[in-house]
Structure 1
Amino acid sequence: MTGRYYGGKWGVYLRAPDLWFELLDRYGHRLVPLGEIADVWRGTWGGKDCFFYPRDASAECLAAHPDPADFEAQYGLPRADVASGRVKLVHCGEERGEIRPIEAEYLEPEVHNLMEIRSFTVSPADCSRMILLVDKPKSDLKGTHVLHYINWGEEQQYHQGASCAGRVSGERPWYDLTGHVRGAMFWSKIHKYRHIIPLNDQRLTGSNNLYDVLPKHEIGPSVLAALLNSSLVVLSKFQYGRYAGTEGTLKTEVVDVNMTPVADPGQADPEVLLRLEQAFVRMRRRQPISFLSERTFSEPALREAGRETELNALPNICELDMPDRRDLDDAVFEMLGVESAQRRRELIEELYACLRELFERNRVMEWRTNINKRIAKRRGAAKPSEVAAEILAEIKAKEPHLLQAYDPGFLDPSKPYDTYELPSVGEPSQGPLAPHIVEFRRGKKLIGAVHTKNTAQDDLLVFLARSGVRGLVRVPHDEEECRRVYERYSDFAGRRDERLRKLIQDRTADEEMQGRISDILTTLLTRSS
């Protein structure tokens, strides 16, 4: 591979099969890091899934209440508004316990993860959730259902979360997720037994579980999608990604995806590219299936239970048995310069053998972990406080820089500063009626007000309070120095919070549990700093 440097992974040399090195040695000059031929970036991050990604409840509500009067009594709006599609009723809130109306113009289908995708192309029909997209200030939303929805979210204090609060700027309210550039296809952050890089022909929005991918250099989206769905890329991602936990789950960050080697379409013969696209067209006509057959997947559990005789009744077909996939992979190897059809068949067989072994090994790993989890569950599930304490201990041992405090870590006490006392409770905001005042409110009740020297101090104090820094707080007296400190600390806090989210997500997929752990961990970090 030649061209711009995209990093490296020393772990590849420890875990890659011999075939990987053979391919690099012989055909590496025909491979490029994906980052050279495509842009890759993260999907949208709301910060509160149960608010930003509601589920459409319109159809079930219409079916449950056919009588208009009964419907309006139940949901507080005319049935015709929902039946016409102008307004949607959505499941929202903690454990989705609420049903609320939102104008359809502020909602779009959202691809939350690839578990619900049943094709090599995504469509609105695949989306079980929607995304709230509101780019207007509240003053322009008077008389709308979406304004009531936003106010309800604030009553639940969703806007006080680190991600929501960090989104706020002079022109951007906490609820505004608009402006995200949409890619031509999606790459999943998490991978198990399927490999799907679906085309996004309709330019749907993806969540932060997905990465948007957009080809460069006039490369067609269908060509790039075909390459990324090849079995060679499946092998590549396992070399450049990393396992999350002990369940055989692969996690790929943006940097990993950018480094992943793919066949270079810029060096390919047009006829070969056409053959590649045609194979992918055939793949798009069917559903993607697992790289592990149902029989192989069930084998560890059935053998443990002494029921191995049931294995023969289970299907033994997997993605590697699909003729269109073999055609696609054959075209990829021809792109790499393997002219002999016989040699391409041999390489495909070697590649498929490697992948079968890899996925079978991951399945055994997952099965063993699940057994251990069942044993642990019988002993009692871990509490949020226990998980938070475990994460804090890991941070202290391995990443102590995350414990850096605002003062003195970012404040230079040798320079003039002012000291303010921030209330221990209340949501901070800049005073709406007078400059240089930071107000703290609980709901509509004013808890306290801090009079500052300049706007830069306002911004810094609001951010510090939202980050958990309360009590006596020192901030630079000089306005320019105050802005500099704000930029440095907000950058650190953003990177720290992103790392904390990853540590929490590595331990639980339950959104409610994640929120509780995050709240406790924030308190623990404040005490430890």
Structure 2
Amino acid sequence: MRFGIKTGANEFFYLKPVGMSVKEVVEIAEKNPDTLIPVKNGAGWEGEIEAEFLKPVIKSPRELKTIIVRIEDLNHLVFMCHKSERELKGTRALEYIKWGEKQGYHKRPTCKGRERWWDLGEPQVSQALCMMSYNDRHIFWLNNRGLVDARFYDIYTHKNTYNFIICLNSSISFLSVELNGRVNLGEGALDFKVYESHEIVILHPDCLNNEVTKNVVEKLCARPIYSIFTELGFDPNKPIREQEPNPLPDRKALDDIIFDVLGLTEEERKEVYYAVAELVKNRLEKARSV
């Protein structure tokens, strides 16, 4: 598990394609990396950069519509260039770097600490990712599609990715996150650090049936992930223990895979749901009362 990209100058490194989608840029880059792509940044600059230097990046959780990262949902590209000025001679990428230097980006602490201020290194696309903080929505995404901003954590694994994402998105996992995270952010958000990720308790992915998990994940990806209360079938405005858990069908199907392997009774399964919902509700209500 690692931090996402820390650019030191988001308005320079993060770009939006003009007149085309991120998916189209990726397809063009695969076929003809020298193609000039019209892009704009957050500082008002607009121009063209070679496709080979533009990679899909996940900048905000709001971009992600389902549990699986889909390239068609992404809005941003990251300027990813490892070449020297000499190697870049005659390219639009070099012109963009020179524009950035005129703005003083190369003098920023994070940027000037690099051998080449514009070179973000070679981060690898992860198999999964999660947020740095949680409000009332718990989710781990199946990635394999894009690099991520520092607002996320990259998660790498050699295990079956569908099995892995099922284990991470089970209510047992959410319970572990709630118990190990720290409530020190605004509005009761749960702060979740890299070192705390090692405390998450999940079932070993090898315990699961590959075909079953793939089917469940594909069904779940057909919809957004809602608040934990909606997912588990609770009304947060009422006492949790006075309600009967009523998880969404695909949520229940996911949890049942884990619960069955663990051999949990019906009452124990309900207790997991009660505990997760209560922890989230208490965390949020405590913040409102301060």
Corresponding residue number in structure 1 for 2:223: 286
Does the 8 Å contact 1:41/1:211 carry over to 2? yes
Deviation at 1:188, TM superposition (A): 1.7
Does the 8 Å contact 1:184/1:213 carry over to 2? yes
Distance 1:265 1:185, change over 3 A: closer
Deviation at 1:363, TM superposition (A): 3.6
Does the 8 Å contact 2:230/2:247 carry over to 1? no
**Aligned residues: percent identity?**
27
Deviation at 1:292, TM superposition (A): 3.6
Deviation at 1:282, TM superposition (A): 2.1
Equivalent of residue 104 in structure 2, options 157, 163, 178: 157
Q: Secondary structure at the match of 2:118?
A: coil
Deviation at 1:262, TM superposition (A): 0.9
State the 4+ residue runs in structure 1 displaced beyond 6 angstroms.
none
Q: Secondary structure at the match of 1:45?
A: coil
Does the 8 Å contact 1:246/1:365 carry over to 2? no
Corresponding residue number in structure 2 for 1:185: 128
Q: Distance in 1 between matches of 2:285 and 2:179?
A: 19
Deviation at 1:201, TM superposition (A): 3.2
Task: Provide, for residues 447-494 of structure 1, a one-character-per-residue CA deviation record: whole Å limited to 9, x for no partner.
Answer: xxxxxxxxxxxxxxxxxxxxxxxxxxxxxxxxxxxxxxxxxxxxxxxx
Corresponding residue number in structure 1 for 2:278: 357
Distance 1:332 1:57, change over 3 A: same
Q: Secondary structure at the match of 1:91?
A: strand
Deviation at 1:154, TM superposition (A): 0.9
Output aligned runs, 1:364-375, within 5 Å: 364-365=285-286, 367=288
Higher relative contact order structure (alpha carbons within 8 Å, sequence separation ≥ 6): 2
Q: Secondary structure at the match of 1:226?
A: helix
The aligned amino acid for 2:15 is P
Task: Provide, for residues 214-246 of structure 1, a one-character-per-residue CA deviation record: whole Å limited to 9, x for no partner.
Answer: 224xx2111011100111111111112212324
Distance 1:274 1:101, change over 3 A: closer
Q: Distance in 2 between matches of 1:50 and 1:264?
A: 40
Q: Distance in 1 between matches of 2:58 and 2:186?
A: 27
Q: Distance in 1 between matches of 2:55 and 2:257?
A: 37
Output aligned runs, 1:139-218, within 5 Å: 139-168=86-115, 173-202=116-145, 204-216=146-158
Q: Distance in 2 between matches of 1:288 and 1:354?
A: 19
Task: Provide, for residues 81-112 of structure 1, a one-character-per-residue CA deviation record: whole Å limited to 9, x for no partner.
Answer: xxxx933333324xx33323222221111011
Task: Provide, for residues 230-269 of structure 1, a one-character-per-residue CA deviation record: whole Å limited to 9, x for no partner.
Answer: 1111111111221232411112111111221111234x3x
Q: Secondary structure at the match of 1:143?
A: coil
Distance 1:206 1:246, change over 3 A: closer
Distance 1:156 1:286, change over 3 A: same
Distance 1:292 1:117, change over 3 A: same
Larger radius of gyration: 1
Corresponding residue number in structure 2 for 1:324: 250
Corresponding residue number in structure 2 for 1:231: 171
Corresponding residue number in structure 2 for 1:380: none
The aligned amino acid for 2:147 is T
The aligned amino acid for 1:157 is G
Deviation at 1:274, TM superposition (A): 4.8
Deviation at 1:368, TM superposition (A): 5.2
Q: Distance in 1 between matches of 2:9 and 2:283?
A: 32
Q: Distance in 1 between matches of 2:230 and 2:273?
A: 13
Equivalent of residue 48 in structure 1, options 2, 9, 12: 9
Distance 1:149 1:257, change over 3 A: same
Does the 8 Å contact 2:166/2:254 carry over to 1? yes
Task: Give 1 or 2: higher helix fraction.
Answer: 1
Deviation at 1:366, TM superposition (A): 5.1
Task: Provide, for residues 193-221 of structure 1, a one-character-per-residue CA deviation record: whole Å limited to 9, x for no partner.
Answer: 2222111133x1111222221224xx211
Q: Secondary structure at the match of 2:140?
A: coil
Q: Distance in 2 between matches of 1:152 and 1:320?
A: 56
Aligned residues: 270
Output aligned runs, 1:110-509, within 5 Å: 110-168=57-115, 173-202=116-145, 204-216=146-158, 219-266=159-206, 268=207, 271=209, 274-293=211-230, 321-338=247-264, 343=265, 345-365=266-286, 367=288
Q: Secondary structure at the match of 1:321?
A: coil
Deviation at 1:46, TM superposition (A): 1.0
Q: Distance in 2 between matches of 1:236 and 1:184?
A: 21
Q: Secondary structure at the match of 2:130?
A: strand
Corresponding residue number in structure 2 for 1:398: none
Does the 8 Å contact 2:126/2:144 carry over to 1? no
Does the 8 Å contact 2:185/2:191 carry over to 1? no
Task: Provide, for residues 96-137 of structure 1, a one-character-per-residue CA deviation record: whole Å limited to 9, x for no partner.
Answer: 333232222211110113232111110222222211111111
The aligned amino acid for 1:229 is N
Deviation at 1:320, TM superposition (A): 6.5
Task: Provide, for residues 361-395 of structure 1, a one-character-per-residue CA deviation record: whole Å limited to 9, x for no partner.
Answer: 344345457xxxxxxxxxxxxxxxxxxxxxxxxxx
Q: Secondary structure at the match of 1:58?
A: coil
Q: Secondary structure at the match of 2:82?
A: coil
Does the 8 Å contact 1:265/1:335 carry over to 2? no
Does the 8 Å contact 2:178/2:279 carry over to 1? no
Gaps of 5+ in 1: 1-39, 61-84, 301-318, 370-529
Equivalent of residue 18 in structure 2, options 40, 57, 64: 57
CA RMSD of aligned residues (A): 2.7
Deviation at 1:293, TM superposition (A): 4.5
